[in-house]
């Protein structure tokens, strides 16, 4: 990772570069990346000895590449990023970038507990091929994570990131919901393009869509379980674990919603609820690194 001297240089250089980009956006010369669509959150396969199985990872990517996804999310909760070393996290992003179709977006989870570590990871992930950084809320000191603290954190990350930033709220894993008022404030940052909201509160998703409607800001649902409802209140897509196993059906649900075929969409959503619940119950099964037990 970046040392103190390199960090100082990166901070100064990226700030100058981003300010130029901000000026382009403000003058209408540039436009934020469009993240609308369906993304499977790619799992991280492991060998019997708990090493990352890069061969299986690439095999999975080739299979997923046959579906009409907008792109892939790497190092989200489904990718078990807390159990990987920094070098493994970067290698996984690099391998996915090489294996995935060139016309797909790669959203890489770069969140860490500190702002500096998050910036360093974001810069490094950009260098190995990430198109955008998905940044989860820091949560170890969740009692101190006020709106002001989170706004400060994400603003610093977005200021210094060479790629667009997607906010990531997943309260089931962090115990922390990114407050709506913080999301609204952060939506005004020219390098923050959207949010993946995995809380399942459709009222909240609708409120975020409504309050950020004047910004170039997009909302992704964090599960196929509430994908139809999220589309109905203005979300533009979803990061859906179910898409790893039922990719065609999740993409079909997207098409039905986008074309206004709500009755058929409702029927398909109903059929997907039970398999989606099954994927949540499986979660992080035994045999993955974080759940290994002594024999």
CB atoms within 10 A of CB 272: 21
User: Is 239 known to sit in a ligand binding site?
Assistant: yes
Q: Which segments of the chain does DSSP mark as H helices, in order?
A: 4-26, 54-64, 86-99, 115-127, 147-160, 171-174, 180-186, 202-211, 227-232, 247-258, 262-282
Q: Are 169 and 177 in contact (CB under 8 A)?
A: yes
The catalytic residue among 32, 196, 211, 280 is 196
The secondary structure of 89-122, three-state, reads HHHHHHHHHHHCCCCCEEEEECCCCCHHHHHHHH
Given the residues 39, 168, 267, 288, select the one marked as catalytic: 168
User: Is 54 annotated as catalytic?
Assistant: no
Q: Other C-beta atoms within 10 Å of 155: how many?
A: 17
Q: Which residues pair with 74 in a beta bridge?
A: 108
Whether 168 is catalytic? yes
148, 186, 295 from 152: Cα distances, Å: 6, 9, 45
Catalytic residues: 168, 196
Residue positions forming the annotated binding site for pyruvate = 239
Known binding residues are 239
């Amino acid at each position: 990772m970046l040392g103190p001297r390199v960090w100082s240089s990166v901070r100064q250089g990226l700030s100058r570069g981003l300010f130029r980009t901000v000026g382009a956006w403000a003058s209408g010369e540039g436009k934020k990346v469009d993240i609308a669509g369906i993304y499977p959150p790619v799992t991280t396969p492991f060998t019997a000895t708990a090493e990352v199985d890069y061969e299986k990872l690439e095999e999975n990517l080739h299979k997923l590449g046959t579906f009409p996804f907008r792109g892939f999310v790497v190092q989200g909760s489904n990718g078990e990023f807390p159990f990987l070393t920094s070098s493994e996290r970067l290698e996984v992003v690099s391998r996915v970038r090489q294996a995935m179709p060139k016309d797909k977006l790669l959203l890489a989870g770069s969140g860490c507990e500190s702002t500096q570590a998050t910036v360093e990871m974001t810069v490094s992930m950009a260098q190995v091929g990430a198109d955008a950084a998905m940044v989860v809320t820091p949560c170890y000191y969740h009692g101190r994570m006020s709106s002001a603290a989170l706004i400060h954190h994400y603003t610093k990350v977005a200021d210094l990131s060479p790629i667009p930033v997607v906010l990531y709220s997943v309260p089931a894993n962090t115990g922390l919901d990114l407050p709506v008022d913080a999301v609204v404030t952060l939506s005004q940052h020219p390098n923050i393009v959207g949010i993946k909201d995995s809380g399942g509160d459709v009222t909240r998703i609708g409120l975020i869509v409504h309050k950020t409607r004047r910004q170039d800001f997009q909302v992704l649902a964090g599960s196929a379980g509430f994908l139809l409802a999220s589309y109905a209140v203005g979300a533009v897509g979803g990061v859906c674990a179910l898409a790893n196993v039922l990719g065609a059906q999740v993409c079909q649900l997207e098409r039905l919603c986008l074309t206004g075929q709500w009755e058929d969409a409702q029927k398909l959503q109903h059929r997907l609820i039970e398999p989606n619940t099954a994927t949540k119950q499986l979660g992080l099964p035994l045999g993955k690194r974080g759940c290994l037990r002594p024999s």
